[in-house]
Structure formats: structure tokens, C-alpha cells
Structure 1
Amino acid sequence: MLLSKLIHPEITSILAASGHHSTILIADGNYPSLNKRGPNAKLISMNLMPGLITCDQALQAILSAVPIEAAMTMQTEESGPYALDGDPPVWDDYRKTLRDAGSDVELKPLEKWAFYDHVITPDHVLTIQTADQQRYANLLLVIGVRMSETE
């Protein structure tokens, strides 16, 4: 029986085989997961119905299983139909979840096309497609290093 919050067998297997610098995309319900992923990435659909599961729920599970050294979001647009004034509310959820997990990782917003470029690399090992309906909820995580007990 697993002790972490993450109990999904396929996701656990992928993470166990991954290493430092591997990336995990937690994709919202609008992300084009079939055509915007790395050549080595496995796509796991966790989109049961709109809003279930959320990206933050997936983040909580991932943080219980692997160390994270970086977290990138898709920068908000300043004009047009998807523009927001300030950070999306979901980013505050991520900051709280990271803090609650004992992480000091800061969110790093990337311009939309730069975000896609960071995803479609050989280091991308996993996309978890959620049904999160919040704008700008995509989150790209970089796996860190598990330190020895003596360090």
C-alpha cells in the first residue's frame, strides 16, 4: 500500500522511471494535449467531467511523490478575450499548495509560445490532462533531486 497521496498506478510508474530535469505537465481542460507534448511524454486523461479533477488536485498528488525544483505557468494575455488583470486565482492555489508541501519553488510565468516550447522537449515525460476550467491553469513542473538523509 502506497503512503503518498498519489495512488494512480500508471502515473506512479512514470514518475518512478523519471529523473532529474524530467518535466510533468499538468494541463487544464483547454490545453491541446495531443499535439503539444514531448516525443517521450505519456498522456494520462484525468478529465472525468468539467472541473473534476483540477490542476491543483493533480499538483497535490505529484508533490507527495517527487521533489520539484521548478514550476512554470502560461503567462496571461494582456489584451483580447482571455486577458486578465493580474494573476489568475489558480496561481494562488498553486502557491499555497507548494508552501503546504514544504516547497520554496516560485511560479515562473512563460509567454504562451515559450511555454509550449518548454513542453515539447524530450525531457517531457508526462501530461496529466485535467478537466480544470480555470484560465491559465496549465503548470509545467521540473523534477528535482532526492537528497540523501546525510546531506
Structure 2
Amino acid sequence: MLLQTLIHPKINEVLARAGHHSKVLIADGNYPAYNTLGPNAELVSLNLSPGVVSCTQVLKALLSAIPIEAANTMGIPADDPYALGGDPPIWSDYREILKDSKLNIELQPIQKWDFYDAVASRDHVLTIQTADQALWANLLLTIGVRKS
């Protein structure tokens, strides 16, 4: 029986094989998850129905299981038709979750097309596809080191 809140068997299997610098993408419901996988990545689809499950739910579960050293959002091009004129509201939620988890990590945007390249890298081990409807909710996590 696991003590952490993350109990999904496939996600735990992939994370157990991952190491320092491995990348995990929490993808929103609009992200093209299947055709942007890195060569070593697995896709777990948790998109049951619109909004279920959410990116914030997945983030909380992951933080119970793995150390995180970096968190990257998808940077929003100013000319993008879905640009919001500032940070998306979900980024505030991410900041609060990271703070509540006692992590001193700042969200670092990676410009949209560079974000896709980062996900396509050999360090990408897992994409968790959610059904989150929030715009710009994609979050690329870098696994850190276990200190104890």
C-alpha cells in the first residue's frame, strides 16, 4: 500500500524509472499530447471528461511522490490568438501549490515553440494528459534529487 497520494500504477512505474533531470509534462486538455512525445516518453491519458482531471490535481499528486527542481510553463506569444494579456489564472494556482509544498521554485516560462522542443527531448519521460480547460495550463516539471 502506498502512503503517497499518487496511486496510479503506470505513472508510478514511469516515475520509478526516471531520474534526475527527467521531464514530466502535465498537459492541459488542448495540448497535442500524442504527437509531441519525446522518444523515451510514455503517455498516460487521464482526460475522462472536460475538466476531469485537472492539472492542479495532477500536480498535487506528483508532488507527493517525486522531488521537483524546476517548473516550466508554456510562454505565451504576444500575437497568439489565445494570449490573455498577462499570466493565466492557473499559474497563480501552481505558485500556491508549490509554496504549500515548501518548494522554493519559480515558474519559468519557455516560449511556446521552444516548449514543444523541450517536451520532444530525450529527457522527457512522461506526459500526463488531463482534461483541464484552463488556457496555458501546460506544466513541464524537472525531477530533482532525493535528499533523504
TM-score (norm 1): 0.95
1:80, distance to aligned residue in structure 2 (A): 4.2
Q: Which runs of 4+ in 1 moved over 3 A?
A: none
2:49 alignment counterpart: 49
Letter in 2 for 1:145: V
In the alignment, which residue of structure 2 is the partner of 1:131?
Answer: 131
Q: Verify: 1:79 aligned to 2:79, yes or no.
A: yes
Aligned 1:82-101 pairs, distance under 5 A:
82-101=82-101
Q: Could you tell which deviates more after superposition, 77-86 or 37-46?
A: 77-86
Structure 2 counterparts to residues 2-151 of structure 1, below 5 A: 2-148=2-148
1:4-60 alpha-carbon deviations (Å, 9 max, x no partner): 110101101111111000000000001111111101100000000000111111000
Q: Which runs of 5+ in 1 are unaligned?
A: none
Distance 1:81 1:113 in 2: 15
Q: Distance in 1 between matches of 2:83 and 2:18?
A: 35
Aligned residues: 148
What percent identity do the matched residue pairs reach? Answer: 61
Normalization by structure 2: what TM-score?
Answer: 0.97
Please tell me whether the aligned partners of residues 75 and 110 of structure 1 are also in contact (alpha carbons under 8 angstroms).
Answer: yes
